[in-house]
């Protein structure tokens, strides 16, 4: 459960250095033009969610540049 955003990928970090590094390496290979940022999300996960679950994409209203 991760979130792709302009120029970056936001992914969870769970405190298992080996697994966290493997996830970082995989996401970096899948998204070579984006910066991979891992965040500790224990509070979110305790509620049953993940990074993608707590994000909301909103469409831009009007024309670009307005």
Active-site hit among 12, 48, 53, 57 = 53
- 26 phi/psi in degrees, rounded to 5: -65, -50
Task: Tell me if residue 53 is catalytic.
Answer: yes
Give the pTM. Answer: 0.73
Residue 27 CB contacts under 8 Å (≥ 6 apart), including other chains? 2, 9, 11, 36
Quick: pLDDT tens for 1-10: 898 988 999 9
Quick: pLDDT tens for 23-59: 999 999 999 999 999 998 887 777 777 777 777 766 6
Write down the domain spans for the chain.
Answer: 3-54
């Amino acid at each position: 459960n991760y979130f792709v955003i302009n120029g970056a990928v936001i992914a969870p970090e769970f405190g298992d250095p080996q697994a966290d590094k493997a996830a970082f390496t995989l996401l970096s290979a899948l998204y070579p033009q984006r910066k991979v940022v891992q965040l500790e999300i224990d509070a979110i996960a305790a509620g049953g969610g993940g990074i993608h679950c707590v994000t909301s994409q909103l469409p831009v209203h009007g024309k670009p540049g307005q």
